[in-house]
Amino acid sequence: GAGVSQSPSNKVTEKGKDVELRCDPISGHTALYWYRQSLGQGLEFLIYFQGNSAPDKSGLPSDRFSAERTGGSVSTLTIQRTQQEDSAVYLCASSLATSGEQFFGPGTRLTVL
């Protein structure tokens, strides 16, 4: 079946603009994760959704970052007033609640000029 998909694959934006990144998890996966991969910080957890439970937002670096998951499937990560330090690859992963094995998408490369 299809894996995790993310769009866009690349996004270039100007400092101060808002961006939205999309993730389509594997069908049937109830858990969804967002991570950020940057040269200086490696792979960092951002936010975790599990079913209808309140999301774990403990990894979000500032209040400019938010995410939502509609209908238990598609998720959108929004970064407001982007800064140059937000430049990174944003990765989405999904898993079955029972297994914990996370499957990653190809990522969205965000460049903030």
Partner 1 sequence: QQQVKQSPQSLIVQKGGISIINCAYENTAFDYFPWYQQFPGKGPALLIAIRPDVSEKKEGRFTISFNKSAKQFSLHIMDSQPGDSATYFCAASMGAGRRALTFGSGTRLQVQP
Question: DSSP character for 53?
Answer: S
Closer CB to partner 1, 59 or 74, in the complex: 59
Interaction pattern, residues 23-62, with partner 1; x per rule: CB under 8 A: --------x-x-x------xxxx--x-x-----x-xx---
Distance CA 81, CA 103 (A): 30
Q: Is 65 in the site for partner 1 (CB under 8 A)?
A: no
For partner 1, which is the closer residue by CB, 82 or 108?
108
Phi-psi region of 6 (alpha: psi -120 to 50; beta: other; left: phi over 0): beta
Of all helices (H) and strands (E), which one includes residue 90? strand 88-95
Q: Which single residue is written with the structure tokens 């993310």?
A: 6
Q: Which residue has the tokens 């939205």?
A: 20
| Span 1-20, contacts to partner 1 by CB under 8 A | 4
Question: Which residues lie near partner 1 (CB under 8 A)?
Answer: 4, 31, 33, 35, 42-45, 48, 50, 56, 58-59, 91, 93, 95, 97-107
